[in-house]
Every structure is written in C-alpha cells, then in structure tokens.
Structure 1
Amino acid sequence: MDEYDNIANPVSLVFDRIRWCTRLVTLSCPMIDGAIWKHLSHIPTLLKLEIVHGYDDPPSLSKRDIVNLSFLNLTSLSFRQLDDGADIITVIQHSQFPSLKEFKLEASYLTSEAAERLFHALSHCKACQTIETISFCLFDEDPEDVETLTPIPHFLCFTQLRTLQLIFNDSYIYLDNDMLLQAMSSWPHIHTLEINYSVDRAPSSEVSLHGLFTALGLCPQLHTLLVPINIATLDVDPDAEPIQHTSLRSLGLETSESEIADAETLARIISAWLPCVDRVQSLDYMRWDEVNKHLKSLTAAAALYVVGAS
C-alpha cells in the first residue's frame, strides 16, 4: 500500500500507527480489526480503550478473529456511536477482562435482540467481581415502536456495582418492585442508579412508592436515583413512621400519569422518607412543579425547626 492509499484510507493509517505502539495506556480509535485486537491484548500497559464509530465501513469481526484474547490490565472499555452490536458481542464473548471496572456503550440504534445478547454477553465476561460502572445510552431519534428490554436480571451478578446508567429513548426497561428489591440486595455498594426511558410511549411503571422505599433500605450508600414510578395510587401512609434514607441527595422520578393528583401528600411522603431531598427532578419538570413547591416549603420548615431546637 502506497502513501496515497494511506491518506485516502484514514482507518488504515490509524491501524498502522497502533501496530507500532507497545506501551499504550489510553486509546480512542475507530472499530479495529482482529489483528489489532490481538495486538492490543499483548500490551500490558493498556488501561482504557474507547472505540468510536467514525467511518462508514468499519471492519467486521468473526469469532476466528477474536479467540481467547486476554486484556489483563484493561479497566475501562467503551463503545460510542455504533449502529450494530454484533462486533461488540463478538469481542466480549471471546475475550477476557479480569481487571475491567467500567463498561460503557453509547449508540444511535440497537435492536432489542442485539441489546439482550449484549446484556447476556456482558454478564458472562468473567468480570462479575470487578465491574463497578455500567452505562448504556441508546438514542434512536425516530423509533417506530417501543420495545421491552430486561437488562436488570443480567446485571445482578455484578456485586461490586457502584454506578448503573440505563438511558433508552426507544425501549421500555421492565422493572417491578420485586426486581428492584432483588437488584438493591445484589448491589450493596451502589451509589448511582439511573433508569430512564420515554415514559409517555411506554406502559406504566410497575414500581410503586412503597416498593421504592423498601428497596432503598437495602442500599444505604445510594446518592443519586432516577427511576420511572407509578404514582396513580399512593401506597404509603403519609402519617406512618418513616424509615429515613439519609444518603440520597438527588432524586429523579418519571411517571406516565398525566398529572399528579395529590401533590401535597406526595411531597410530605418524600420529605419524611428522604429528608435530604428538596426537589424531584424530571424531564417533564412542569408535572412535578406542585410537588416541588411543597417540598421546598417542607425543607424550609425543617431547617427552621433545627435552628430553633439548637
């Protein structure tokens, strides 16, 4: 291949440069071929690898290209702006990542079948004792149908999980009270949990307020929470003695309800159970406006009580 061909094919130029690198620590590049994957697996200094889709014809990988590769010290693996999950699944299924702590995927489109295969592959990549961060952000600008995904059961094996972010605008992430309770009992170290999808196009959430508070009791370190919730019926007695969760600082709730019927009661419940939360965040902030007004008043009153008591 002459110099002109290299200039005309930026992917080949990138590959040629990578082949000369033997002490890489961080690498961000287009999808690489099997030979480059094998080369990178022999670089013990490589800690962070990001694959960015920036070209029309990325190399496709077969199982013969990726066979028993081991990235001994790789701690972060991410894929960004990829339209097909087949190559990612191939890499994860046929490689070992004994030190992996972070896995991230950002894509404009991924079929539900590919997504479920990817969840399954990740849960079997022998990193259950090391992964602390999982992030999936899938943005389909014009989804035709809302499909149901079940990623949570696949991730229960990651007992060291600190951060889980699932942001989908074209799929419904199934979650109910029992599943949320099981998840929280499996992730004792979790401090950030974000599960979000287009609630206006999806079925009503199966998570109730009581189910949410019950699960919160199992994750004392949780700091940031964003989940869809069903508040059509308030199944928590506002006058009952609350079990307070004092670590939670950021609360985001999404609901498919057109309006919140009893904003004041809901605010009283949230304030009693989550005393460090002074507002509910939401993409539809107007829907929660009344709740937040009451929360602000309750927070101010609590602060005055503390000052007076001291």
Structure 2
Amino acid sequence: MLHRCHLLSVDEGLQSFVTRCIALEHLCIHRTPETHDIDNTANELSLLSDRIRWCTRLVTLSCPMLDWETWKHLSHLPTLLKLEIDRGYEDPPSLSNRDLLNLSFLNITSLSFRQLYDSANIITVMQHSQFPSLKKFKFQANYLSLEEAEQLLHALSHCKACRTLEEIIICCLEVGPKYHEFLTPTPHFLCFTQLRTLQLMFTDFCIYLDNDMLLQAMSIWPHIRTLEIDYLDAYIFSSEVTLHGLFTALSLCPHLHTLKIPINIATIDVDPDAEPIQHTSLRSLELETSSEIEDPETLAGIISAWLPCIYRVQNLGRDWDEVNMHLRFLKVATAPYGTYGSLLK
C-alpha cells in the first residue's frame, strides 16, 4: 500500500517494485547513470516507460523523458495533477511521428520540464497535447534555438490553457550560438488572461518588446504580479520600451509586485513636473539599459514620484548607482521621523 516513492536510478529493480505497488500515487525517479551511450539510453527509456504504464493511480510524477506510448497512457489518468520531466537524455531516441494523436491531459495543473539536453521531443509532445486545467508551466533547457523557441511558444498558446494558466517560466541556461534576430514572445501570451507570473530568460537571442506591446499585454493581464524579461545582451541592444510607455502600462496592472525589463532611457519622455499616477504595489524594479543615464537626479525624482515604494533600482551598472543614491536621499527627505535610518541601508 505504498503511496509515495523516490528512486535514484532506472534499473531492473524498477520492474518488480512498480508491479507490487499498485496504490502508488507519488513517484519521483532521479536518473544518475554512469554511462551515456546510445544503447544504454534506449534501454533505460524503454524500461522506464514500460514500468510507468503499470501505474494507474499517479497524482504526481517526476522522471526522465518518456516514449510516446507512455505519454498516451498518462493522458488517460484522471488522477494525474503534476508532471515533471527532469534531466532528459543527452542523446534521446526521437519520438516517432507515426500515429501521433492529439492528447488531452484533462486534470494536470502543473507541468514542468527541467534541465533538458534536447528540446525537440518536448516540443513535439506540446504540439500534440492539450492541458485545459493547466495553471503552472515551467520549461528549463540547457540550449534552445530561435526556431525551437518560436515552436514552443506557439504550442503553449494552443494547448487550451487560455482560461487557467497563471504562471509561465521559460529559461535557457547555457550560452550557445548568437542570433541577431529578435524573438517576439508577447503576442503568444495574450490569450492567457489569468496570468500572474511571466518569467522569460534567454541567453542566445534578444527579446523584442515595445510600448504598444507592453500596453496591450498589461491590459489583458490585470492580475499579473511578476513580470521578468531578461536576455544576455539587454545592455547592448536598445529597448523599444520608454519610461512613459512603462508608466502607462503600469497603470493597468495594479497588483504588479516585481518587474524586470529592458528599457530605453536615452531620452527621458516623462515630464518631471507632471502630476504622477502612483503605482503603490511595485516593490522590486530591475531595469536594463544600453544607453547612459544623462541626468540621474531627474530620473530618480521621476521614479520616486511615480513608484513610491521603490527605494532602489536593481542593476549592476554604475549609472544606476547614482540614480539609487538620489533615490535614497529623496526617500529619507520624505520619510516619517524615526524611519530614515533603515532607508539609508
């Protein structure tokens, strides 16, 4: 009657174990092989997939990549709520394109892919699957090409999770070949009206975002709390989002707490004497810019007036150090008596 189990490897012992534990609900398999040859990979994949098809009551599953038959088996499990594919194979056998069916995982609410060496198979699964109850999606790859990124975003936007998806985290961990083209992810996410968290981090290509896109996105994501868009060369390629565009968009997302985006401040397009529309929920602000800050004091005054709960801008650039110094002085000057000591830290 074992309900929960963690295994450290994929081996022959998995067969007898699974067949004896028909009540298993939570299964986590950590793959730690000593060899990485193709034959060994194929054998492990076959053994793992075959044994998991014996599990009919799974609620949560964390394991390496599976074959197509096992994906179909999991789609028929009404109990399955959380699925995590962890540490894919370095040279996995390709999923067969024969008899590909549109799978529907009716009750999965959390779907995660971590430390993937090859994203092609996962993208294939996403392209042929629906997740109408999905709330959390995380995709972490060691490498992702621009074409693969586009395919993944398109598949995610068509997986029938428009009314449920609240959290999207997509990141690429290793630096590969540089792409001079821009990825434009925002239009793919406009269907997700319940979005609370969006975190995108790419190391091999840039992300395009402008004032109109940001404004449109914020008008569709009224519940968003965390928005982080990061790419390796954000400090080189000029952003199309300006300070005025940022503040206009912020007025549409009153619950936003954490914001990280590239911004163009070559020209400050906000009147420092204009009446600000204060955003009082934002607590963490990180801005990447490729241009020098010509007037740190004026910029600090604008940020302080429009974002009263921001005490410093998270950034490693020296120009921002000066902005943050002025921000601290402004906060100290307007802070209630007895609180200025903590603001100077």
From 206, 209, 218, the counterpart of 1:172 = 206
The 5 A counterparts of 1:116-265 are: 116-199=150-233, 202-257=236-291, 259-265=292-298
TM-score, length of structure 1 as denominator length: 0.91
| Match in the other structure for 1:115 | 149
Cα offset for 1:127?
0.9
Cα offset for 1:145?
3.4
Could you tell me how far apart the structure 2 residues matched to 1:28 and 1:286 are?
A: 43
Could you tell me how far apart the structure 2 residues matched to 1:92 and 1:290 are?
A: 46
* CA deviation string 1:84-129 (max 9, x = no partner): 4332222122222110011111112111111111111111111100
- Of residues 70-79 and 297-306 in structure 1, the stretch that sits farther from structure 2 once superposed is 297-306
Could you tell me how far apart the structure 1 residues matched to 2:256 and 2:90 are?
A: 41
- Of residues 284-293 and 102-111 in structure 1, the stretch that sits farther from structure 2 once superposed is 284-293
| Match in the other structure for 1:61 | 95
Unaligned ranges ≥5, structure 2: 1-10, 16-32, 34-39, 341-345
Secondary structure at the counterpart of residue 136 of structure 1: strand
Letter in 1 for 2:298: T
Unaligned ranges ≥5, structure 1: none
| Match in the other structure for 1:286 | 318
Secondary structure at the counterpart of residue 125 of structure 2: helix
Cα offset for 1:233?
0.6
Could you tell me how far apart the structure 1 residues matched to 2:77 and 2:132 are?
A: 14
Identity of aligned residues (%): 71
Could you tell me how far apart the structure 1 residues matched to 2:339 and 2:67 are?
A: 64
Cα offset for 1:302?
1.7
From 258, 269, 276, the counterpart of 2:302 = 269
Whether 2:329 is the aligned partner of 1:297: answer yes
Could you tell me how far apart the structure 2 residues matched to 1:61 and 1:188 are?
A: 39
Could you tell me how far apart the structure 2 residues matched to 1:179 and 1:145 are?
A: 22
Letter in 1 for 2:300: A
Cα offset for 1:204?
0.2
Give the aligned length: 304
- Of residues 266-275 and 200-209 in structure 1, the stretch that sits farther from structure 2 once superposed is 200-209
Letter in 1 for 2:53: R
Could you tell me how far apart the structure 1 residues matched to 2:173 and 2:103 are?
A: 31
Whether 2:105 is the aligned partner of 1:74: answer no
- Of residues 135-144 and 229-238 in structure 1, the stretch that sits farther from structure 2 once superposed is 135-144
Cα offset for 1:164?
0.5
| Match in the other structure for 2:134 | 100
Secondary structure at the counterpart of residue 81 of structure 1: strand
Letter in 2 for 1:217: S
Letter in 2 for 1:273: W
Secondary structure at the counterpart of residue 304 of structure 1: coil
When residues 94 and 19 of structure 1 are mapped into structure 2, their CA distance, relative to the original with a 3 A threshold, is: same
Secondary structure at the counterpart of residue 336 of structure 2: helix
Secondary structure at the counterpart of residue 335 of structure 2: helix
- Of residues 86-95 and 207-216 in structure 1, the stretch that sits farther from structure 2 once superposed is 86-95
Cα offset for 1:307?
8.0
* CA deviation string 1:125-163 (max 9, x = no partner): 111001011111013324333431011011101111111
Could you tell me how far apart the structure 2 residues matched to 1:53 and 1:165 are?
A: 21
| Match in the other structure for 2:37 | none
* CA deviation string 1:190-233 (max 9, x = no partner): 11100111235652000000000000011111111100000111
Cα offset for 1:12?
3.6
